[in-house]
C-alpha cells in the first residue's frame, strides 16, 4: 500500500502561520512539505551577521540584503535562505516576500543542513531560475557556488570560512 502525504501550498501554509498553528517553530515550505529548520549555532549566526553587514555596505542602495527571511518561489515553496540579495523595492516587501524574479543571489550556511541545502534547496532554486546560490559548508570549511541554474553547474571553492 502506498502512503499519500499531504502537500501544502503557499496559501494553506500562510493560513497555518496566521492561526498560530506553527507558532514558535522555525519552519519553511519546500516543495509542499513543511520542513523544520535546525537551530543556528554560534558560527552560523556570526558569519550570517558579518556577511549581512559587509554586503549591505558594499551594495548600498543597489540591492537589499535580507537575513533569514522567506522568499516565495512557487505555489509550493517558500524557503528562508540565510542571506538573500534582492531587488530594492522599498515598501513593496511590506505586503509580500520577494519572488524568484527579484532574487539576485542566495547564501546558505550549512552545518547540519548540507544534504538539504545541496539537494532539495539547490533544485528548488535552479527550477526557479535563481542566478547565483552559495553554500558555506561549515564542517568542511569550503564554499560551494552554483551558477547557471538550468544546468545546475557546481563550482566548489576552498575558503577560510
Q: What is the pLDDT of residues 8-40, one digit of tens each?
A: 999 999 999 999 998 888 999 999 999 999 889
78: nearest Cα among 11, 152, 150 = 11
141: nearest Cα among 106, 105, 111, 107 = 111
User: pLDDT tens digit string along 91-147?
Assistant: 999 999 999 999 999 999 999 999 999 999 999 999 999 999 999 999 999 999 998
Cα→Cα distances 83→2, 16, 104, 134, Å:
38, 25, 11, 10
Q: Which domains, from first to last, does the chain contain?
A: 38-158 (3.90.1570.10)
Amino acid at each position: 500500500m502506498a502512503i499519500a502525504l499531504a502537500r501544502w501550498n503557499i496559501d494553506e501554509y500562510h493560513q497555518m502561520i496566521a492561526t498560530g498553528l506553527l507558532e514558535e517553530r522555525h519552519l519553511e515550505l519546500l516543495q509542499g512539505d513543511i520542513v523544520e529548520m535546525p537551530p543556528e549555532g554560534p558560527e552560523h549566526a556570526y558569519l550570517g551577521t558579518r556577511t549581512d553587514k559587509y554586503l549591505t555596505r558594499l551594495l548600498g542602495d543597489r540591492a537589499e540584503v535580507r537575513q533569514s527571511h522567506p522568499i516565495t518561489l512557487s505555489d509550493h515553496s517558500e524557503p528562508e535562505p540565510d542571506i538573500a540579495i534582492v531587488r530594492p523595492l522599498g515598501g513593496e516587501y511590506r505586503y509580500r516576500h520577494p519572488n524568484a524574479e527579484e532574487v539576485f543571489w542566495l547564501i546558505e550556511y550549512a552545518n547540519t543542513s548540507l544534504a538539504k541545502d545541496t539537494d532539495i534547496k539547490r533544485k528548488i532554486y535552479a527550477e526557479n531560475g535563481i542566478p547565483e546560490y552559495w553554500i558555506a559548508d561549515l564542517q568542511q570549511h569550503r564554499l560551494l557556488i552554483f551558477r547557471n541554474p538550468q544546468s545546475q553547474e557546481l563550482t566548489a571553492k576552498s575558503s577560510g570560512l
